[in-house]
Amino acid sequence: QKRPQKRYVCQSCGGVASKWAGQCGDCGEWNTMVEDAGASFTPFQARHNLQSGGRAITMLGLDAKVPLPDRMATGISELDRALGGGFVEGSATLIGGDPGIGKSTLLLQAAAKMALAGKAVAYVSGEEASDQVRLRAQRLGLGQAPVQLAAATSVRDILTTLGEGEAPDLLIIDSIQTMHSDLIEGAPGTVSQVRASAGELIRFAKERGTAVVLVGHVTKDGSIAGPRVMEHMVDTVLSFEGERSHQYRILRAVKNRFGGTDEIGVFAMETEGLSEVGNPSSLFLSDRDEGVTGTIVFPALEGTRPVLVEVQALTVRLASGATPRRSVVGWDNARLSMILAVLEARCGLSFSTCEVYLNIAGGYRVQDPAADLAVAAALVSALSERPLPGDAVAFGEIALSGEVRPVAHAGLRCRESSKLGFERALAPVGKLPEKSELSVSGFRTLAAFVDNLL
């Protein structure tokens, strides 16, 4: 028999190469290529499978009756919001995030809450000893919840155990990178092991109607396979984000076969575990100083939910002719360069001798393009050393032409701003909300906006 050919798989993107390389040719990540058990079937077998030996599958028209999936609310409303109403029976959910961000804590809390509501919940930890998890649960006041807990890493053992009795309503696997499937070779954490283990667990979910939740650590160094290699296998992908040095955490739906992907859940990590943050704006806006130059509030939108954040800019004039730094935290670097270029070309403001720092307060990451106008306002205020009105928010997209373009959900942004005590909005002209408490100043161009500020 021919020896199976060696192959190398990128632990970041799953790309395959026949030779080892320092850099993955597919995704460009470094030091992520790891030797992997080769394909286990020959081309002959593959062709044979195409022709016969399968079972007939049922095919129905698009108009066939579809039962709505049964959802199990977790009772943690920020989690339910991100999931689109709760875990779906017989589905697989992946929760990805940096180590230490709070995935285990969140799932332990959800498990306890669901178990107390009468659901059968199993929590399998491959990372911590079960007593460690138990102690944490007791410290969080969840010791009384009837969660079935075990420490295990063998997928076969887990599925044999759970397959015997009534399958649980919810099964949490923490984490998928510690799991081991004996169907294939390889160490836990490699792409093939992660895929095989996830595949077996997902099959169990579909067959037995259990909602399976897989925890996936995101790793930058590629030492273990990241959640991306499983994204296509599961129904829902949630990403748990936040700065470890900050308190708040955002749970974002990245993929959801059963709901929208633009909803977020907001939590704060406290000594008693994760608490829900029903009103995120208050979190990001706490301790604002008025009369400081270079800051303005931007009403961002996360899905259908407005979140007010503070945009801060600082400019430092350089004495020498050194290349000035541009440093951005929480926003897109390229987008900042674009706004600086538009301010220079269309408004005659030069930042070429200034270092520019842009920061979104609270460690929040803005993805909403409507932030342009707020960023421009903060930059102009920092450069001119004139404070912006403390009772104003700013939003609008800026085009290269210097036009200020209308953005989606202006009304929602204004309503939330007014709810939090703001009185004015600096915004694009256009269809503005009819009944808003906010007085709206509309601008057609960035030049007009700058004239008004200066």
Q: Which residues bind ligand TYD (CB under 6 A)?
A: 97, 99-105, 136, 140, 269, 271-273
List, in order, residues 6 or more apart from 36 with CB less than 8 Å away: 7, 8, 9, 16, 186, 190, 191, 192
Longest Cα–Cα distance of the chain, Å, equals 80
Residue whose CB is less far from Mg ion, 74 or 104: 104
Nearer to Mg ion (CB atom), residue 55 or residue 220: 220
In the complex, minimum distance from the CB of residue 217 to ligand TYD, in angstroms, rounded to a whole number: 7
Q: How far is the CB of 99 from ligand TYD (least distance, A)?
A: 5
Q: Which is nearer to ligand TYD, 102 or 389 (CB)?
A: 102
What CA–CA distance (Å, rounded) separates 181 from 204?
13
Using alpha carbons, select from 331, 376, 333, 327 the residue that is nearest to residue 355. Answer: 327
Rounded Cα–Cα distance for residues 420 and 416 (Å):
6
For 210-227, letters b (16+ CB in 10 Å) and e give bbbbbbbbbbeebebbbb
Residues 330-369 that bind Mg ion (CB under 5 A): none
Selection from ligand TYD, Mg ion, none that 105 binds (CB < 5 to 8 A by kind) is ligand TYD
328 CB contacts (<8 Å, ≥6 apart)? 336, 357, 358, 359
Residue 97 partner contact from ligand TYD, Mg ion, none using kind-dependent CB cut-offs of 5 to 8 Å: ligand TYD
CB of 92 to ligand TYD, least distance (A): 18
Distance CA 29, CA 221 (A): 9
Task: Report the partner that residue 99 touches, choosing among Mg ion, ligand TYD, none (CB closer than 5 to 8 A by kind).
Answer: ligand TYD
Binding string to Mg ion for residues 98 to 117, with x set by CB under 5 A, is what?
Answer: ------x-------------
Q: Does 178 bind Mg ion (CB under 5 A)?
A: no
Name the binder of 100 from ligand TYD, Mg ion, none, CB < 5-8 A by kind.
ligand TYD
- The helix or strand, by DSSP H or E, that contains position 450, with its residue range, turns out to be helix 446-453
Q: Give min distance, CB of 120 to ligand TYD, in A.
A: 23
Are 311 and 298 a contacting pair, CB within 8 Å? yes
Residues annotated within the binding site are: 97-104
The least distance separating Mg ion from the CB of residue 98, rounded to whole angstroms, comes to 11
The binder of 168, among Mg ion, ligand TYD, none, by C-beta within 5 to 8 A per type, is none
Minimum distance from residue 192 beta carbon to ligand TYD (Å) = 24
Closer to ligand TYD by Cβ: residue 140 or 338: 140
- β-pairing, 7-10 vs 33-36, is antiparallel
In angstroms, the Cα distances linking 183 to 5, 213, 225, 338 are 19, 21, 18, 52
* Cross-strand bridge partners of residue 395: none
Q: Residues forming the annotated binding site for ATP?
A: 97-104
Nearer to ligand TYD, 216 or 396 (CB): 216
Query: Smallest gap, in angstroms, from Cβ of residue 249 to ligand TYD?
Result: 9
Chain length of the chain: 454
Residue pair 358/339 in contact by the 8 Å Cβ criterion: no
Say which amino acid occupies 402: G
Nearer of residues 15 and 242 to ligand TYD, judged by Cβ? 242
Q: Taking CB positions, which residue lies at the least distance from Mg ion?
A: 104
- Nearest CB to ligand TYD, comparing residues 125 and 197: 125
Residues contacting residue 94 through CB under 8 Å, at least 6 positions apart: 176, 213, 214, 216, 227, 230, 231, 234, 236, 237, 238
Nearer to Mg ion, 237 or 382 (CB): 237
Measure the CA–CA gap between 193 and 176, rounded to whole angstroms: 9
Which string of x and - marks every residue 45-84 that binds Mg ion (by CB under 5 A)? ----------------------------------------
Q: Provide the minimum distance between the beta carbon of 390 and Mg ion in the complex, in angstroms, as a whole number.
A: 41
273 binds, among ligand TYD, Mg ion, none (CB under 5 to 8 A by kind): ligand TYD
Binding site for Mg ion (CB under 5 A): 104
